[in-house]
Amino acid sequence: MTVAVQLKGQHRVGMSGNEAVAYAVKQADVDVIAAYPITPQT
């Protein structure tokens, strides 16, 4: 699912949920992210 987002009245950016999380992490300057895979790896 792709959503259009308004950024500070400048322009719209379309991005998926994964891209939105990556963008937010980059903006927040996070050092560590702990994640657990949802799908099995076997």
For 14-39, the pLDDT digits (tens) are 888 888 888 888 889 888 888 887 77
Q: Is 38 a domain residue?
A: no
The pLDDT of residue 10 = 65
User: What residues are paired with 12 via a beta bridge?
Assistant: 6
Q: Is 35 a domain residue?
A: no
pTM recorded for the entire structure: 0.48
The pLDDT of residue 3 = 59
The pLDDT of residue 5 = 60
Q: Is 19 a domain residue?
A: yes
Domain around 3: 1-29
In Å, how far from its chain's centre is CA 35? 14
The total number of structural domains in the chain stands at: 1
Distance (Å, rounded) from C-alpha 14 to C-alpha 17?
10
18 three-class SS? helix
Residue 11: which pLDDT band, with cuts at 50, 70 and 90? low
